[in-house]
Every structure is written in C-alpha cells, then in structure tokens.
Amino acid sequence: MTDPQLRRTPLTAVHERLGASLTGFAGWLMPLRYGSETAEHNAVRTAAGLFDLSHMGELAVTGPDAGAALDYALVGQPSALAPGRARYTMICAPDGGILDDLIVYRLSGEEFLVVANASNTAVVFDALEERISLNAKVADQTGDYALIALQGPNAAGILAPVTDADLAAVKYYASYPATVAGRPILLARTGYTGEDGFELFTRPQDAEPIWDALTAAGAGHGLVPAGLSARDTLRLEAGMPLYGNELGPDLTPFDAGLGRVVKLDKPGDFVGREALARRAEAAPRRELVGLAGRSRRVPRHGYEVLWDGTASGQVTSGAPSPTLGKPIAMAYVEPRVARAARQEQADGEQNRLAVDVRGSAEAADLVPLPFYRRPA
Amino acid sequence: MTVPDELHYTREHEWVAIDRATASVGITDHAQGALGDVVYVSAPAAGSKVTAGEPCGEVESTKSVSDIYSPVDGEVAEVNPEIEDNPGLVNTDPYGAGWLFKVTLPQPDGALPAGLLSAAEYEELISDKA
C-alpha cells in the first residue's frame, strides 16, 4: 500500500481513520487531504482547520552560551529574544545561500527550540553541530514532539475552553508552557496560513487526546482537519515562501526579498556574514513577484515567465487560488522586467507579461504580495 | 473507488462508454481521487480529430495538471457543456455528470482499439499502484 520506509507521526493512525489521502513528504507519511482540499482551504479562511505538522524538525539548542552560539550559526540574533518570544530566521551557507528557513523559540534563558523544515532537519542539525562549539549543545528532538496547528479566525474560540492559557495574553510570535485537555504543551501563536492561529508542541503520547479534544471543541465552530495540499495554497495566498520553491541554496535572503532577517549589525561574526554584506550592497539580480493569471490555466513551479515573448524569469509556486478564484503564482523575474511590468500597468497599456503554460503564453498581471491579507 | 463493469479503461485512467457510433469519455474515480479538486478541464474542441493513445486535453487540479489521453480514434462530437463552469463535477460524479467529451467513431460497433482494459483489468492496474 504505502512505502513502509516512510516515518509515521503520532497522529498517522488518526488520519487513516479519517480516510485521509496520505502521501510521502520529506520521508514522512503525511495527510495530503481528507476530502476536498478546496473545502479545507476555505474552512481555514472562514472558520478553522487542524493540521498535523509533526514532520517538522525540532532541534533543541541549550547551554549557557546557546544564544551566542545561535547568533553565530544563524543570520538572525536569537540572543536578543526575550524568553517566551519567537522569530522567523534563516540559516545560510558561508556563501550566503539559504540552507533553511526557521522559527526560533526562546523557551528560557539557556533553552532555544529551532523548528526546521522536515526536508532540511538533518542539514540544519549537522550545520548547527558544526557551528556550535561554545558552551552549548544541539539535540534533535523531532521524535519527542508532535506538532498540531490550529489555524483560522475561530482558532482562539475553539482553543479557549480546553486550555488553561489566557489566549488574550498570548501574543503573535510568542510561546508559553500551557495545558490542553489537561496535558502539557508548548503553545505558540504562530502559523503558515495567513490566519490567526496556534501551534501546539505536544508529547507524542498526548497528540491524539489533544487532537480529539480540539476536534470536539471545534464541532460547533466549523473546524475541519486540513492536509498539506490546503496548507500549500494557504501559504501561497499569504505570500509566504516555501523552501525548495522560493528559497534554496542558490538564493540569499536578499534575493527572496527577506533581507530584513539578516542582522548585519549584530555584534560578532556569523556564518555567511561576508557574502551577505556584499549581497546587501549589490543591485538585486532578481525580484520575487506575485502574478495573477488571466486565464484558468495555472502557472506552476518551474514554468517560465515571459516578457514580450522572451524568457525573463521562473515561477516558483503556483496554484488556483480558492480565495481569489483565479490562478496565482510567485516568480523570480529580472528586476528590469518587474519595473517595466509595473510601469505598463500604471500606464494602463497592453500586457506583455505572460507565463509559458506548457507551450502557450498565458497572460498574467503583476500583483502585490501577499495575495491575501486577513481582515484586521 | 468505483470501477463500473460496463465501461472500458485506459492505462492513463480514462473511461470510455461505447454506444453504437458514439464513445463517451471521462476520467476514472481513481484518477479524480488522485488529482484532487479539479479546477479546469481543457477538452478537445468539437470537430477535432482524436487518436487513441494520444493526449487531447488537460485536467488541472489544485496540485497538478494531467493530460487526457483519447481512448479511441474519431471526431469529437460534443464537449460536456457543464464542465466549463463546474469542473468539480469530475470529482463528484466522474462516470456521470462529470463526463468530458463524446467522440463519433469511424464505424459503429467496430472493434475496440487494442490496449483498452476491462473493468477487472483496470481494477488490477490501480490496486498494483495504490
């Protein structure tokens, strides 16, 4: 049936009982969808969705010098985080290429949790081990955690009755030790959908009771389980980059329009500093832009962007947008093309921007990122 | 996943129902399940020629795009008029309201093209792959 080499999460049996379509993803057997991925996507935008993200890598960095060690290993400055706060950051190679994008949680003075993409957990672990030589150590704790995300406008209303945490006090990009259904969790107000929501780091044996408690609490609130397929269209609408698509070893954070994560002004050296400092000064080689298709044919990862019929860039992610009702894509294009396309649109001229969709040039419009922003 | 007995199938997951000189074509329940929500179907235009085993259109879903392979030789007589506005019919009723196009065969009740599978053979194909 499925590849027995694939790693199961503490919730795989739950997904099987729910009749999910399961798929291999970065070595894990994960739910792709439970029914209609469009319905799951829409539920997250209008009500709430429940995701199993236990494939994500959890790397604990601990010790008296953990903060300083991470300042050297990553492009951000985790030592400046207050305990209980979290930050989006990246780990780069010496040449500035992105090895992974990460969320770093500071759990206490000497304890950090680095959350990596499943496909990069081993790479990040190896890099951290190599780079952390001070009075600190790194441990791969991926198997010690299940990770459940509850995302959507109804997330707080669903979670409130089953947790001891005061959700009004849980700020965006903050984490707190709490309980759900009487079981200990690390509760974080983070996500990858463009909606308000929470991520719950649980012990593996608590994952199923917590999933069940949330499912029960969400019954009157439109909560549905949601798979990786909906997660991908949600993050794309929210303009969030995905490693392997918008981010990769041949790109720097500056290429991705995320130069702000590189803290060139932090004290001390860090891996990639020299290359990234040069890159920060240089004119951009390409620009990450949003595209909206005019036809119903969908620009997809790897398709060429055309300007006046000439290849001028490449689509990194594309999908039919359930919220906007048309195809959307992110793409790297030559900066002169982005400028010219903006000028053309400002002038209301004929559109010379298109995507080569399997041999036919499908007209596209340049649109600002993100494609979707949740109502304030 | 249902596999109706009375239909024939391609290895590329189309079904075909032949009634005298007309062949109706769609994609199978297994195919729609693997594709996910269908958002757009590009069917061959009425009047165009199709050739058995060759791509003649596309099905776009949330995650991917797949070619449609014609199960038969002939001329496209009709394209499902509902599919343009409601491509989700391919998901909800792949063997019924989600049919894609009809082909006029060169001769009524002629021999089936070689390579089409019976329901039992198709079920075996998808059970190997599942």
Which pLDDT tens digit goes with each residue over A267-287?
999 999 999 999 999 988 899
Assess contact for A286 and A334: CB atoms under 8 A: yes
Of A21, A229, A358, the CB nearest to B62: A229
Span A146-152, mean pLDDT?
A: 98
pLDDT-based confidence at B130, cuts 50/70/90?
very low
pLDDT at A2: 62
ipTM of the complex: 0.88
Span A59-81, mean pLDDT?
A: 97
DSSP A161: G
Of B42, B62, B65, the CB nearest to A37: B62
pLDDT at residue A95 is higher than 80: yes
For residue A142, the SS3 value is helix
Distance to chain B for A10, nearest Cα, Å: 23
Q: Which of B62, B68, B89, B90 to mutate to test the interface with A (most CBs of A within 10 A)?
A: B62
Tokens describing residue A64: 């008296």
Chain-wide mean pLDDT for chain A? Answer: 96
H or E segment to which residue A314 belongs: strand A310-321
pLDDT at A52: 98
Distance from C-alpha of A197 to C-alpha of A199, rounded to nearest angstrom = 7
Which residues in B have their CB inside 8 Å of a CB on A? 33, 36-37, 39-40, 42, 58, 60, 62-65, 91, 130
Which pLDDT tens digit goes with each residue over A165-224?
999 999 999 999 999 999 999 999 999 999 999 999 999 999 999 999 999 999 999 999
Half-sphere exposure in the Cβ direction for A339 (13 Å, CA):
6
In 3D space, the residue among B18, B15, B12, B2 whose CA is nearest the CA of residue B104 turns out to be B18
Distance from C-alpha of A211 to C-alpha of A209, rounded to nearest angstrom = 6
Percent of chain B with pLDDT over 70: 98
Strand ranges (DSSP E) for chain B? 8-9, 14-19, 22-27, 38-42, 49-50, 55-61, 65-69, 74-79, 101-104
Which pLDDT tens digit goes with each residue over B90-112?
999 999 999 999 999 998 777 78
B68 neighbourhood in chain A, CB within 8 Å:
none
Distance from C-alpha of B26 to C-alpha of B14, rounded to nearest angstrom = 6
Q: Rounded to two decimals, what is the model's pTM?
A: 0.95
pLDDT at B113: 81
Residue A289 identity (one-letter amino acid): V
- Across the interface, do B36 and A296 touch by the CB < 8 Å criterion? no
